[in-house]
Amino acid sequence: MSAIDEVLKANEAYAAQFVWGELPSPPARKLSVLVCMDARLSVSRILGLKPGDAHIIRNAGGIVTDDVLRSVLISHHLLGTQELMIIEHTDCGMLTFTDDDLLERLRQKAGTAVVAPARFFAFRDLEANVREQIEKVRSHPWIPAHFVVRGFIYDVKTGRLREVSA
């Protein structure tokens, strides 16, 4: 059985006992969370969230890309979120390569260059990268000054969050 078939079977059991169908669309805690896609990070458990509490936005590295900004703007302006929590983590794969090295490796493997993605947003300094992501959001002209943006590093060995001063 493939992994997709296994999770579809699990979904049948979940749907049979599903009770969250009446939740409103705006997040109850008025919170958005940007977090790395790393499978070790169970965001709801880390933050004590229930379904309907927050918008969870995930990508490799927890990077503020154009698409993340799009999601944050919709989350805030149309669905009322007032805070964004950015979470990156120790032992992140994005610390293990450079964009140029990965682009070259993929070009050689595929035998061709591509237009997109032009960047993978690899980084060397976890704290500096969290600060950079905070600044990308705070400096956007459509993000109001009262919108709270805070950054954190999750320790994959201890389960603890540590705030990064901006």
| Strands 148-154 and 83-89, sheet pairing | parallel
**What is the pLDDT at residue 123?**
98
Instruction: Mark the ranges of the chain whose per-residue pLDDT is less than 70.
Output: none
Contact 57/34 with Cβ under 8 angstroms? Answer: yes
What CATH number labels 26-164?
3.40.1050.10
The ranges assigned to domains in the chain are 26-164
Cis peptide before 51 (omega within 30 of 0): no
Rounded to the nearest 10°, the torsion over CA 123, 129, 130, 136 is -120
- 93-121 pLDDT, tens digit each: 999 999 999 999 999 999 998 999 999 99
| Strands 161-164 and 148-154, sheet pairing | antiparallel
**What is the pLDDT at residue 166?**
80
Q: How far is residue 41's CA from residue 159's CA, in Å, rounded to a whole number?
A: 9
3-state secondary structure of 127: helix
